[in-house]
A = this chain, B = another copy of it.
Amino acid sequence: MKQVVTFGEVMMRLSPPLNYRLPQTATLEVTYGGGDANVAAALAQMGVPAAHVGVFPANELGYAAANHLRRYGVDMSRCLFTEGHRLGLYFLEVGASLRPSRIVYDRADSAFANLDPAAFNWDELLKDAGWLHWTGITPAISAAAAQATADAIAAARRLGITVSADVNYRRNLWQYGQKAQDVMPDLVAGCDIVVCTEGDADDLFGIKAEENSDNGFISMSQQLTQRFPQIKRVIATRRQTQSASHERICGLLWDQGEFFETPFYDISPVVDRIGGGDSFISGFIYGDAHYESREQALSFATIASALKHTIHGDINLVAPAEVEHLMQGNLTGRLLR
Per-residue B-contact encoding for A289-333, CB less than 8 Å = 1, 0 else: 000000000000000001101111100011000100110001111
Chain B's nearest CB lies how many Å from the CB of A149? 21
Closest residue of chain B to A241 (Cβ to Cβ) is: B332
Instruction: Write out, one digit per residue, whether chain A residues 48-82 have a CB within 8 A of any chain B CB (1) or not (0).
Output: 00000000000111011001101111000000000
Query: Are B312 and A18 in touch, CB under 8 angstroms?
Result: yes
Q: Which residues on B sit within 8 Å (CB–CB) of A326? A: 98
User: For the complex, is A26 an interface residue (Cβ under 8 Å from B)?
Assistant: yes
Pair B91/A60 contact, Cβ less than 8 Å:
yes
Contacts of A170 in B (CB 8 A): 337
A97 → chain B closest CB, angstroms: 5
> Shortest beta-carbon distance, A56 to chain B, in Å?
12
Return A49 CB to nearest CB of chain B, in Å: 10
Question: Is A99 in the interface zone, CB < 8 Å from B?
Answer: yes
**Cβ of A95 < 8 Å from any Cβ of B?**
yes
Q: A27-B30, A86-B108 are in contact. Are A21 and B103 (CB under 8 A)?
A: no
Q: B97 to A270, Cβ gap below 8 A? A: yes
Number of interface residues of A (CB under 8 A): 82
**Do residues A245 and B312 form an inter-chain contact, with CB atoms below 8 A?**
no
Q: Does A271 contact B (CB under 8 A)?
A: yes
Cβ-defined contact, B246 with A61, below 8 A: no
Considering residues A23, A246, A311, which has the most beta carbons from chain B within 10 angstroms of its beta carbon?
A: A23
Verify if A22 is at the interface (C-beta below 8 Å from B): yes
Ordered by A's residue number, 21 sampled pairs between the chains whose C-beta atoms are within 8 Å are A14-B14, A25-B30, A28-B28, A60-B93, A60-B102, A61-B91, A97-B266, A97-B306, A98-B266, A98-B267, A98-B331, A98-B333, A100-B334, A101-B333, A102-B336, A105-B337, A243-B331, A244-B334, A245-B268, A245-B333, A269-B269
Which residues of A are in contact with B by a Cβ distance under 8 Å?
Answer: 14, 18-31, 45, 59-61, 63-64, 67-68, 70-73, 86-87, 89, 91, 93, 95-106, 108-109, 170, 172, 241-246, 265-271, 273, 306-307, 309-313, 317-318, 322, 325-326, 330-337
- Please name 9 further chain A to chain B contacts, defined as beta carbons within 8 Å, in addition to the given A97-B266, A170-B337, sorted by A numbering: A19-B310, A70-B70, A86-B106, A95-B333, A97-B306, A99-B322, A99-B333, A100-B325, A103-B336
